Amino acid sequence: MPRWINLPNLFTVLRLLLVPFVIQAILNGRPTLALALFGIAAATDVLDGAAARRLGLTTQAGAYLDPVADKCLLSGVFLALAAARVVPWWFVGVVFGRDLYILLGVAGVMLFTPVRKFPPSTWGKLSTFVQILTAVVWMARNALELRVLDALSPVILWLCVVFTAWSGIHYTWLGLQVARAH
């Protein structure tokens, strides 16, 4: 059996497989199902990292697949929430714009330097956490009719915009440091 086939990576693959079902539930107006499936997908994210560290089963494939699965899940959820008119399209533009900006920056660094590793920064991880929280709050707002979520959802949306933008600025700073060093 190939080394990359292990419990942590199977959790990651499960998360990838859940993405279309979460999106379909959002688009079909089944917010409770979408929230439940997103919760399961989020749990696989916690489980894959914990299992990889505790069992010593970290692999290159897992290091590659985990952030891809996270990005697919969050991107798909935000696109579906915008298409379902739950979150505004400009918000999705901010999230996708930052991701595209980072990819272009990485391409530039790779083109002009020998650097090939780009570990996530603390601000990038915090931004991802706030994006997950934002997705949960907006899906819960859509699934549960609680006034507190009506009040919380715009606050978390703007907090997410701030963290997303700041992490993009931080990655720019890191990229400039890498470029200057080479």
129/107 Cα distance (integer angstroms): 25
* pLDDT the model gives residue 75: 94
Q: What does each C-alpha distance from 10 to 13, 14, 39, 51, 167 come to in angstroms?
A: 5, 6, 17, 11, 29
15/8 Cα distance (integer angstroms): 11
Say if residues 38 and 22 touch (Cβ distance below 8 Å): yes
Taking only the tens place, the pLDDT of each residue in 87-125 is: 999 999 999 999 999 999 989 888 988 888 888 899 998
- Of the candidates 163, 168, 55, 176, the one whose C-alpha atom is nearest the C-alpha of residue 115 is 176
What tokens appear for 44 in the block? 């696989």
Residues of the chain under the 70 pLDDT cut = 1-4
